[in-house]
Amino acid sequence: MPLADQLGELAVLRDEGKIRHIGISKVTAAQVEAAREITPIAAVQNKFNQLEGDRGVLDYCTEQGLAFVPYAPLGAGTLARGGGATGAITWLLSQSPAVLPIPGTTSIDHLHSNLAAVTRRSE
**Predicted TM-score of the model (pTM):** 0.77
Q: How many helices (H) does the chain have, and how many strands (E)?
A: 5, 3
- Tens digit of each residue's pLDDT (9 = 90 or more) over 29-40: 999 999 999 999
For residue 7, the 8-state DSSP code is H
Neighbours of 22 (CB within 10 A): 19
* Domains identified in the chain and CATH numbers: 21-122 (3.20.20.100)
Residue closest to 71 by CA, chosen among 116, 101, 96, 92: 101
Q: State the Cα–Cα distance between residues 13 and 19, nearest whole angstrom.
A: 6
Tell me which of 47-56, 66-75, 84-93 is least confident: 84-93
Q: State the Cα–Cα distance between residues 90 and 69, nearest whole angstrom.
A: 14
- Tens digit of each residue's pLDDT (9 = 90 or more) over 8-30: 999 999 999 999 999 999 999 99
